[in-house]
Structure 1
Amino acid sequence: MKLLYKKLILGFAFAGVVATSCSDEDYVDANTNPDILNEVPPENQFLSATISLHSQDFEAFYDTYRRIMPWMQYVTPQNGNGASFTSNIDNFSQRYGRLYTGIGDALVDMEKLVEKLPEEDQPKYVHMLSIARILKAYYTFYVSDIYGSIPYSEAWQARYGGTMLPKYDDQQTLFNTLDQEIEQSVTALNTAQSITQVSLGNYDQYYKGDVKSWVRAGNALRLKIAMRLIKRDASKTQTIAQEVLSQAADNLMSSNSQGWVFKGTAGFTSGGNWNPDLLYSTKPLVDFMWNTNDPRIDAFFSPNGYSQANINALIADGQLPAGTVEASRRYFGGFTSPDDSKAAINKKYYTPRTVEISGSDVQVDTLSLIQRRLFQPSFDEGNGIGDGLVYLPIITYAEFCFMRAELAARSITSEDAETFYNAGVTASIMWYNQIAVDGELSNYTALGGSEISDYLSEPAVAFDNAKALDQISSQAFLNFYKQPAEGWGLWKRNGMPNATTSLVLPDLKSNGATLPIPRRAPLLLLSQASANYVNQKAAYDAMAQDAGFGAGPTDAFGRVWWDEQ
């Protein structure tokens, strides 16, 4: 994987083409006049789509930090969650528009550019286009995952003489279509071509154009989509799983280095909207990780403010008694349930102390912040701007292992659940160690000794076939700490973790009532002024036939098709 430097982006970004950097006027020109793309190499559009996919800072700010992470009890504000925090869906979600302006359109343009090449040159791009279709399938799945029906089969046609009013593909049809397209792409990538292929090379920020790596990524994506079908069509899940897992071992992910992950320099997430400050760790996660001696705890969370140096300053200021020493445990998370938070505030649990150190006021807090440089390596923690690497995963090897473990635990496959559970836990610990070291996290101690084997021997972690699905879900949920949207998807699919699983996520209560948690993105209200009103209404009406859809388009507590009640 090649590191992403802004100079590289600028070097590849042709004026009026890269949607993430061009002006509105240029972008309109590019969408109404496809001839403007004639001088652009097809591979540039792949890079453009990749940058657009991962540069969504508003998605980080709203969807990740302030919606999904609190809902899933990954983080909490300093004073705990408010009484109706699960009902706050303002500015959620940010992913839909990028499919049509920035990602899907760039990849469709890529295909059209190849079609305009001399006929004898077009066969050189079979592999490149197959890779592009896998990327487009992933992001289409990612959008439909929380929206349900979306335009796909008739989308992106307007500028090439097709319809300007695309129909919506229902989610069942769409998932089948995407699976077929990925399967076809994987087959094409595995097929030797009679003519030397043009490689994406450095335009591919994931695998530098390596074909076998994209075969593995495509197969992992097929398995991921199949997992979403478990509640609706378990037989389809089994068919896809058998097709994928029966392939040669080299076609399947087998190490962290083969994961589908975007890696960039600190500057890639340096903007203010990436700022993860004032997000605190949660009591459910911290307690479980502390009690099981989880090696990832210092990759996820920062120790609280009660270092011996700060304690000494508080002693000198008269705020602590002489002789107070640093505790052996400095990881404490906040309560996630509003009722518990309210009680804790009344007990002054959250009240920080402030003391002057070297001429500056320092807040000393009992709670642990999240490791901010895990999400924004450039974050200034008072010791200057960081310059570590940022990792933005799509499908990690650990996730691939957990999917295989779950399929086995459900008897959908005949593989050994324990083997892949242990492999998933091991891969997750090693991966977080890598990104913590490369991200130059403060207060992080690199993995060493027998930490992994010791962790796998912990009573709450050691595989127990009687509670296999519980343990697999709990560990997969922890692994998704860097991918909260996937943790949300796991919870919707399995109903785990919950208040009775190994990793205990308590019910969220406000004034004694259990709060519902959103399950999908709110849809735009219908407007007859919309040019595509007829197709939009037809899609909404069809989705509303499902009993779980909810009270209406904007009901985020309703469900999409795959999330059957």
Structure 2
Amino acid sequence: MKKKLYAVLFSFALLGLSACDNGFEELNKDPNAVTADRFNPAFLFTTAQLRTAKGDESGTLYYGSTFVQQFASLSNVGIFDFHGDKYVYHKGNNEVLWKKTFDAEGGPAKLLADALQLSKDKPEYHNLHQMVRIWRTLVFSRLTDMYGDVPYSEAGQGYYQQNYTPKYDTQKDIYYNMLSELEDATSKLDANQPLFAAADIAYNGAIAKWKKLGYSLMLRLGMRLSKVEPATAEAWVKKAYAGGVFSSVDDNLFIKGTDATGAQQELVNGQSNILSVSTRTPGKIAKTFFDFLKNNNDPRLKHTVAVYTDPTNVATKNTDPAVQKGLPNGLDRITLPKDPSYDPTNPAQEHQYSGINRDVYAKLDGPRMFITYGETQLLLAEAAVRGWITGDAAQLYRNGVTGAMKNLAKYDASATISDAEITAYLTAHPFVGTADKEKAYEQINTQYWAATFLNGYESFANVRRSGYPKLTPINYPDNETGGRFPGRLRYPDDEPVLNRDHYNSTVARQGTDNYITKVWWDK
């Protein structure tokens, strides 16, 4: 009887303890603590968008834009402002895109990995999860295009998988996965679900624009495979075209700076910040790019370039094309006076050459463009020439040129190009037709080069893919390529130490870790 009584009392005691434990646990929970079940991943997404546009700008300007001869520069006490002008190596700017992407304390790779994890299988975050997947494709497409094989499938998984040495996925596998991700994520966007407008600093939650972005990125990545796997490229281009890409310049993807004063550096357009510095010369407009605009009487010229005879004084700006000229690539301050373009009687000396028009392109609260309507139309024009889509190649070409010119107004209203100017340009430079496909490819992709001005990563990628415009490589002393056009950037110097085994196996598979080795889609 006693044993039964003890058993009953013990059971009641356990129940009581259990009740007390539950109450005690709730009482001791910090209501202000950030935990996975109560943290809103939308905050991570906003920061990822911002940091995709901020911090890596020296990579796209100093290498991408100078590799393709949109910018040129002179040496400065042994340091090159725009290093790609001469195919020379600069550790910090060679590595900046990689370092900023994988920054463990707030790089887009980690932020997006966390946002994916926290939004996965949660209906309330349905659209956010798809947006994150699309944005992650944008981030990693830039990275793999500049370096080749990179950590992708295991990137950002240190906390979740305790994997601090992620493998380098092959670029082929990365591209295949990115395209599949775009297809699936874009198809799942749902305007009837929460839109996360406040968290989305690109499109304010506009699902229709996100769908166009997904298919426009699919078009870009699909076309990137045109040389290495044309059949695969054609299949994805058809899907993108059927899905619906950008239909006007209002669909353009960009992130805008929000601080025109520069007081809050995290909130300014970092690319504009470099170009706006008036105490030094952050590069000049390359002769190759300048001559293309001037020789074709391109209306973009008057808005894009300016001469600052005193680089510290914006009042010295002159936008008259008659007094301007581009700086030839590959010169330094020693060889410049020997170049035929140099006028020794000009008191401005090196500043007799044209620079960027700061009033248009160097506004701290201006936009940084990632993908535009003009680009997508030009890619579709090439696809039409190839017979991959049924669109009118000539009309798509006209749309592309028109969109690229209209895009300047997104930087500043003063750069608006009128319809009459655009019509006159297209009349003077009509589409060459499809009879000679190679001439058509050259015309389309040279316009693409002009359309991607200030998006050096994309300009460099498409010049490698298409071969146009035909650029004369630079052979500056002790350059990284021996005078050959670059194929990629080098991996960061610490990768052979921090991720030795995966680095070594990647180099053995892809090729020597230098500027000459080509990425997969360029071989």
Match of 1:106 in 2: 111
Q: Could you tell me which amino acid in structure 1 is paired with residue 256 of structure 2?
A: K
Task: Work out which of the two has the higher radius of gyration on C-alpha atoms and give 1 or 2.
Answer: 2
Measured in 2, the distance between the counterparts of 1:458 and 1:413 equals 27
2:292 is equivalent to residue 288 of structure 1: yes
Q: Does structure 2 retain, via aligned residues, the 8 Å contact 1:304–1:369?
A: yes
DSSP 3-state at the match of 1:41: coil
DSSP 3-state at the match of 1:392: strand
Q: Does structure 1 retain, via aligned residues, the 8 Å contact 2:305–2:355?
A: yes
Match of 1:134 in 2: 134
Q: Does structure 1 retain, via aligned residues, the 8 Å contact 2:64–2:460?
A: yes
Structure 1 residues 206-221: aligned runs within 5 Å: 206-221=202-217
Q: 1:352 to 1:400 in 2, by over 3 A?
A: farther
Give the C-alpha shift of residue 72 in structure 1.
1.6
2:509 is equivalent to residue 521 of structure 1: no
2:412 is equivalent to residue 432 of structure 1: no
Q: Does structure 2 retain, via aligned residues, the 8 Å contact 1:331–1:367?
A: yes
Match of 1:453 in 2: 423
Measured in 2, the distance between the counterparts of 1:257 and 1:84 equals 33
2:223 is equivalent to residue 227 of structure 1: yes
Measured in 1, the distance between the counterparts of 2:483 and 2:161 equals 49
Measured in 2, the distance between the counterparts of 1:218 and 1:470 equals 27
Measured in 1, the distance between the counterparts of 2:161 and 2:355 equals 53
Measured in 2, the distance between the counterparts of 1:179 and 1:493 equals 18
Match of 1:5 in 2: none
Structure 1 residues 270-281: aligned runs within 5 Å: 274-276=273-275, 277=277, 278=281, 279-281=283-285
Q: 1:330 to 1:540 in 2, by over 3 A?
A: same
Match of 2:54 in 1: 55
Q: 1:539 to 1:433 in 2, by over 3 A?
A: same
DSSP 3-state at the match of 1:230: coil
DSSP 3-state at the match of 1:262: strand
What TM-score, normalized to structure 1?
0.73
Measured in 1, the distance between the counterparts of 2:293 and 2:271 equals 30
Give the C-alpha shift of residue 414 in structure 1.
3.1
2:454 is equivalent to residue 492 of structure 1: no
Q: 1:255 to 1:520 in 2, by over 3 A?
A: same
- Structure 2 gaps of 5+ residues are 1-32, 311-315
Q: Could you tell me which amino acid in structure 2 is paired with residue 474 of structure 1?
A: T
Measured in 1, the distance between the counterparts of 2:500 and 2:333 equals 46
Give the C-alpha shift of residue 47 in structure 1.
0.4
Q: Does structure 1 retain, via aligned residues, the 8 Å contact 2:449–2:469?
A: yes
- Structure 1 gaps of 5+ residues are 1-33, 307-312, 314-325, 355-361, 379-388, 438-443, 499-504, 545-551
2:99 is equivalent to residue 97 of structure 1: yes
Q: Does 68-77 or 123-132 show the bigger shift?
A: 68-77
Measured in 2, the distance between the counterparts of 1:342 and 1:129 equals 54
Q: Does structure 2 retain, via aligned residues, the 8 Å contact 1:172–1:561?
A: yes
Question: For residues 142-183 of structure 1, what are the alpha-carbon distances to aligned partners after superposition, in whole Å with 9 as ceiling and x for unaligned?
Answer: 111122222222233331245444332111111111111111
Match of 1:77 in 2: 73
Give the C-alpha shift of residue 433 in structure 1.
2.9
Measured in 2, the distance between the counterparts of 1:537 and 1:327 equals 53
Measured in 2, the distance between the counterparts of 1:104 and 1:179 equals 18
Q: 1:470 aligns with which of 442, 446, 466?
A: 442
Q: 1:527 to 1:447 in 2, by over 3 A?
A: closer
DSSP 3-state at the match of 2:71: coil
DSSP 3-state at the match of 1:482: coil
DSSP 3-state at the match of 1:394: strand
Match of 1:27 in 2: none
Match of 2:520 in 1: 561
Identity of matched residues, %: 22
Q: Does 87-96 or 39-48 show the bigger shift?
A: 87-96
Q: Does structure 2 retain, via aligned residues, the 8 Å contact 1:304–1:331?
A: no
Q: Could you tell me which amino acid in structure 2 is paired with residue 520 of structure 1?
A: R
Give the C-alpha shift of residue 348 in structure 1.
7.8
Measured in 1, the distance between the counterparts of 2:452 and 2:473 equals 20
DSSP 3-state at the match of 1:562: helix
Structure 1 residues 527-542: aligned runs within 5 Å: 530=498, 532-542=499-509
Measured in 1, the distance between the counterparts of 2:293 and 2:211 equals 35
Match of 1:88 in 2: 89
Q: Does structure 1 retain, via aligned residues, the 8 Å contact 2:290–2:325?
A: yes
Measured in 2, the distance between the counterparts of 1:485 and 1:479 equals 13
Structure 1 residues 295-314: aligned runs within 5 Å: 295-303=299-307, 305=309
